[in-house]
Amino acid sequence: MAQAMLRSSLQGEIEADVEIKAPATKFYNMFAVRPQDVSIASPENIQGVSVQEGEMVRVGTRVTWNYVLDGKPKVAKDRIEAMEPKKNMIKYRVVEGDLMKEFKTFLFTVQVTPKQGGRGSVVKWNMSYEKIDEYVANPETLLQVCVNMIKDIDKMLV
């Protein structure tokens, strides 16, 4: 499920593919159009989401995510970096918040693909990053939070 692809000791990429029952477009819209509903679907992982600047469905929009990692409340302030609705893909760049204490750069890419020959979809959740130093751990626990959130959203959508 999860794979780590390391580029150097400080740069890395980790991702998970998660099969869901919901249609690809419906899942994608949770992140592109209605991110505030993510906290309704997965309150144990995401405590709140708010649009701080701009409008959803637009590159450049700033979104604040309040999430829980290792039992502690955290904040990530992201900017939508890219969107491709035909591919059900959205990319967020973290610009402020707790992750920036340990990472120089951090990007989340979510792409949802309909399953071939069947109902449901596959969510590819990718995180690429550059750590501030070699003492920072790879973000496997954060990836697990994201996988849990994906499963919660799927339950809400089907």
Query: pLDDT tens digit string along 120-150?
Result: 999 999 999 999 999 999 999 999 999 999 9
In one-letter notation, the amino acid at residue 99 is L
* Confidence class for position 8, pLDDT limits 50, 70, 90: low
Residues 6 or more apart whose CB falls under 8 angstroms from that of 87 comprise 111
> pLDDT tens digit string along 28-87?
999 898 899 999 999 999 999 999 887 777 899 999 999 999 999 999 999 999 999 999
- For residue 6, the model assigns a pLDDT of 46
**Predicted confidence (pLDDT) at residue 106 exceeds the cutoff of 60:** yes
Burial class (CB in 10 A: 0-12, 13-18, 19+), 126: buried
CA distance 41 to 56: 19
16-26: b or e for each residue (b if 16 or more CB lie within 10 Å)? Answer: bebebebbbeb
